[in-house]
A and B are shown apart, each in its own frame.
Chain A
């Protein structure tokens, strides 16, 4: 801190001001929604409280908990299988089980509404077995939505649990065995309790994802807070009611976030020092290997294999019927243009925030960084609502331009980008910059010749991440897009809502295909084959 003060030129002050301004702007939507909701007429509050809110709160919480339970079972059991057991094809499944992350929820939802829907292949097969007229599981039900969201989000838990299984010091397990605990006893009394922080982190990602999801619940018509906010804006043109529901949604998201932080603080285990030894994988017998293969294949097929095949088949017939035309490439361009612009803006905006927080961690600078994370608890429709209100009050001439949409993307996805930019900057020790200064280079030259080349890969990862998320973004795009300016995500949703499954397929398939290499790239950074 003292050293920083000693070499402080005029430049950092303007940087600090810029960071403060950016942080303020990033917080503005959240603040505005809160302001609208809290200044709303009490009658609107009481009307909502007696009609919609109990049902919406119940539905949202029930969905979040149901998906959390499902992903817990799937994610942890699969992680345990690939990390601790050896069976044919284990290495392939180990990375293939991550692929469901490449399918946006609205894509999986529309595929499942076909698969499980009335007259769909699953129901037809079931009726052969159970007799005509019997129904298995409606996609437009709590169970259906829970199934779709679970299949889409279990990789979050799987990834973190797998890393925890691989990184756990095996001495804990060996000493438990020496104390007389059986294999199963060791798993439940030692291994899983020690993995709690990782599992909870995965579950909180899942819950946040579910609470703010719009795509699946809107296509499957399941009433949650996020969906209701969207309906209030579009169907009823009632921004005040929408803002009240939004505030509630933000509070629910915050409660989950705070609970997770609190739990992590409480259960932050300090692994005692010592050498690390990797756990060995146990060879499965023929029966166990068959069961493991059936289980992993089943989960993979349900979450990625079958949906990807459906998309490919539909795309082929859509192409042969001439659906991929100049209009389609227009949507591709719109998506790429908007997402590229948003990702570039977000990197430029995030740079001063991350730089100041890691180099001059004063209270103000850290607060700026924290403020940038506000977008985390701002689900798409809520951010869109805030921007709509702000723009129509302050800058009506911006209304309906692409700029508003780009701002919405930046606010929403900057937190994800910062998580990749921050560690990249922190890994560059200030000594390197000081060495460059001592060799006669100024601040700007040092930044260009030393800092930027070193943080490059972290920033590229951040850009890719934000580009992909912007491209998949649905609710804010639906609400804010300029007239006639459709993106791939919007097309998928519009066609799927009308049950034109084949027309939706090429756009959906393109999104999935673009996402897969990026996911594998981002994973390869901390993927340990062990």
Chain B
């Protein structure tokens, strides 16, 4: 649970002068149904910014997105789009009047309409000539000009996704909402589509909120990441800050491999089984803490008389991830180059890069969802 409310929020200098397009203030939603509730979510998105809502399934990230879209009413707080109040208790501007664009996980292309008619669906208010021109322009932008007359079932997954994007973007929405847009694509295709989508959003200067459970996706796409857990916002920060200085153990664990080593503050530093760490957070002497350390900050070297030894090795292509057992039974992980291979059981010495470690109170709720 974050004690520093509102969640730690680093300012992004390049975006500061831009107008705020989307703002959530203390938003809560409650249901009797199967959807997870959200509690006191606050964040804002500036024009052209990409915000990722990241969290495990059931954390409320899709609910947040649907509240912004106007599919779910809010019970507390308010949502503003382009400074206009769109959601508040007892107040719900219908979705069609919000100027939002939405891309669903399964794309939801209208199966009875051709690609061009799918894209033109929201342009009814335009003259037919203008509508056709805009559709052509948009299809060009996503590279689907040749497929304009096809039906959705005749397209590949990647093409379907681009149609869904084109259909949402052609209306020039104030905010584009994307719900797990890459989860139906195979990994290679997803990587390519990520780059294309990022490029497209930048070119069209679109403000976007993207929901994902994949931290790599969030790192690749987001200007800022909002990490959600159990319906609460745990941290809102740049991808780098979320990875290196997570505000809670949950965030630390969720956005990448992390080990938590128990320690005690003595003589102004953290004493642990594997060494001494600086007390950056200023805990009082005698405090019980855990040190979060990532595998890329632990280096192992074989050493004859060492208390630690290798328990397992996982080959991951670009790296070898070693599991190292300590005498207390605690394990830590170390990332080594893919060509560095040690047999299991090798006694090793740990070399630590202590500058990237983060301290947490030992009694702080570690990860209620993990």
Task: State the A residues within 8 Å of B (CB).
Answer: 169, 171-172, 174-183, 189-190, 193-194, 196, 267, 269-275
Contact = CB atoms under 8 A, between A and B. Distances in A.
B171 A180 contact: yes
Interface stretch (B96-104, B266-274, B339-347, B362-370): B96-104
B95 interface: yes
Contacts of A172: 108, 110
B121 A176 contact: yes
List the 3 shortest-distance A-B pairs measured between CB atoms, nearest first: A274-B106, A179-B122, A270-B153
A501 to B, nearest CB: 49
Interface residue range, chain B? 20 to 34
A194 B112 contact: yes
27 contacts: A171-B104, A171-B108, A174-B69, A174-B102, A175-B104, A175-B164, A175-B167, A177-B70, A177-B95, A178-B96, A178-B177, A179-B96, A179-B122, A179-B167, A179-B168, A180-B124, A181-B96, A181-B121, A181-B124, A182-B94, A190-B110, A193-B112, A194-B112, A269-B153, A270-B152, A272-B107, A274-B105
A301 to B, nearest CB: 34
A183 B69 CA distance: 15
A174 B108 contact: yes
Contacts of A179: 96, 101, 121-122, 167-168, 171
Contact of B160 (A174, A176, A193, A272): A272
Contacts of B153: 269-270, 272
Nearest to B99: A180
Contact of B94 (A175, A177, A196, A272): A177
Nearest to A274: B106
A443 B168 CA distance: 59
Given A178-B69, A178-B101, A269-B112, A169 B106 contact: yes
Nearest to A186: B96
A164 to B, nearest CB: 13
Given A174-B95, A179-B121, A181-B121, A272 B111 contact: yes
Given A175-B167, A179-B121, A272-B106, 6 more contacts: A172-B110, A178-B102, A179-B168, A194-B111, A269-B153, A273-B106
B298 to A, nearest CB: 39
B111 to A, nearest CB: 4
Contacts of A267: 112
Nearest to A182: B96
A178 B168 contact: yes
A140 B122 CA distance: 50
Interface of B: 69-71, 94-97, 100-102, 104-112, 121-122, 124-125, 152-153, 160, 164, 167-168, 171, 177, 184
Contacts of B69: 174, 178
A272 B152 CA distance: 8
A297 to B, nearest CB: 29
Nearest to A189: B121
Nearest to B107: A272
Contact of B106 (A171, A182, A193, A269): A171
B178 to A, nearest CB: 12
A171 B110 CA distance: 10
Contacts of B71: 174, 177
Contacts of B96: 177-182
A128 to B, nearest CB: 47
A507 to B, nearest CB: 47
A267 B168 CA distance: 25
Contacts of B109: 272
Contacts of A270: 111, 152-153
Residue from B71, B106, B108 with most neighbouring chain A CB atoms (10 Å): B108
B72 to A, nearest CB: 10
Contacts of B97: 180
Contacts of A190: 110
A180 B107 CA distance: 17
Contacts of B152: 270, 272
A96 B5 CA distance: 55
Contacts of A189: 121
Nearest to B154: A270
A493 to B, nearest CB: 45
A174 B153 CA distance: 20
| Residue of A179, A271, A273 with most partner-chain B CB within 10 A | A179
A178 to B, nearest CB: 4
A174 B109 CA distance: 11
A465 to B, nearest CB: 33
Contacts of B107: 272, 274
Contacts of B168: 178-179
B251 to A, nearest CB: 27
A181 B122 contact: yes
A188 to B, nearest CB: 12
Contact of A175 (B70, B108, B111, B184): B108
Contacts of B164: 175
Nearest to B120: A179
Contacts of A271: 111
A180 B69 CA distance: 12
B366 to A, nearest CB: 30
Contacts of B171: 179-180
Contacts of A274: 104-108, 184
A190 B97 CA distance: 18
Contacts of B94: 177, 182-183
A270 B155 CA distance: 11
A273 B184 CA distance: 8
Contacts of A181: 96, 121-122, 124
A198 B273 CA distance: 68
